[in-house]
Amino acid sequence: MDRNPEQITLGDVTVTRIKEFYGSAGLSPGRFFPDSPDGSWEEHRARLVPDFWDPVADECRTAVQSWLLRSEGRTILVDTGAGNHKERPYAPVWSRLDTDYLGNLAAAGVRPEDVDLVVNTHLHVDHVGWNTRLDGRTWVPAFPNATYLMTRRDFEFWDPANEHRSVLGRGNQNVFEDSVAPVHRAGLTHLWEGSYRIDRNLRLDLAPGHTPGSSVLTLESGGERALFVGDLVHTALQIAEPDTNSCFCEDPAQSRVTRHRLLGRAAEHHALLFPAHFGGRGAVEVARNGPKFAIKEWAGFSRIS
């Protein structure tokens, strides 16, 4: 039987990449990663082109995808992308999309009603979009039989009623209202704190900095390990230069601490790293390089081109 190029097995867990979008992030490296060291994009050009940087257009490239996990008989989606038909006036790259995300999910053998758990690593626009779908003029849960796992910290931070100020300004406008509140009203959310054990193979822990309630999903099964780190790392440059934040980090200092800690865990335990937005092969093994890190080996899936 041919191997599925979009699926790997780690212990007793299968991991499948469900694509939504791949292309320009609409931002130059200088805007997306304003504190990246001078000359670092050129220095690491061989690792960044073409999967993370288009030097001709001087634009960052990004993937938006979900990680589909099958563990202990349950079907789990990690992050749900940007979603279709959403009004995003201050994030136009994600506005009114019309992708075949559900078709890609179906190609992996999963119908929306088959999903048991949805993990939102954090509640940014491009991580919660397929939490809901448009039914007539109403946003309804896209996965009606699922429990949606969200951190209480992020839920409270992004609830407009709490009037928290964000570095995004209005960049997350409408997101809570159309992609978070509908599943909460339907009684499908579980707001967790501290850590949350999904099953023997999977555990969620807080990893704050990018947002107050950002989280990391740890997979440990059959002697194999993986970390699903959301937006801890957007680009391969942040492995080589781990002090580099994106412009979307709410707490830059905490984000750096968390990135160093989790990259260190990945290197020490030989855990595959699954960032939310890596195109190319999707997953990577990292090694320590003095106080920084280096790509040891690309792993995972067929290369997105």
Mean pLDDT for the chain overall: 96
Distance (Å, rounded) from C-alpha 48 to C-alpha 44? 6
Enter the DSSP assignment of 42: H
Amino acid of residue 245: N
pLDDT at 299: 87
Number of other residues whose CB lies within 10 A of the CB of residue 181: 18
Measure the CA–CA gap between 292 and 294, rounded to whole angstroms: 7
129 close to 83: Cβ distance less than 8 angstroms: yes
pLDDT at 2: 41
3-state per-residue secondary structure call for 108-167: CCCCHHHCCEEECCCCCCCCCHHHEEEECCEEEECCCCCEEEEEHHHHHHHCHHHCCCCC
Alpha carbon distances (Å) from 73 to 115, 121, 201, 204:
11, 22, 12, 18
Domains belonging to the chain, first-starting first, are 7-300 (3.60.15.10)
Q: How far apart are CA 59 and CA 26, in angstroms?
A: 6
77-to-67, 144, 210 alpha-carbon distances in Å: 6, 13, 21
Using an 8 Å Cβ cutoff, are 208 and 225 in contact? Answer: no
Strands 74-78 and 117-119: parallel
143, 77 Cβ separation under 8 angstroms = yes
- Check residue 300 and give its pLDDT: 76
Task: Note whether 52 and 279 are within 8 A (CB).
Answer: yes
Q: Do the strands 53-54 and 282-289 form a parallel or antiparallel pair, or are they unpaired?
A: unpaired
- pLDDT < 70 regions, the chain: 1-3, 304-305
**pLDDT single digits (tens) 278-303:** 999 999 999 999 999 999 999 878 77
Rounded-to-integer distance, Cα 163 and Cα 279, Å: 34
Give the tens place of pLDDT for each residue, 180-229. 999 999 999 999 999 999 999 999 999 999 999 999 999 999 999 999 99
User: Where is 22: in which H helix or E strand?
Assistant: strand 13-24
Check residue 3 and give its pLDDT: 61
What does the pLDDT read at residue 1?
33
Single pTM value for the model? 0.96
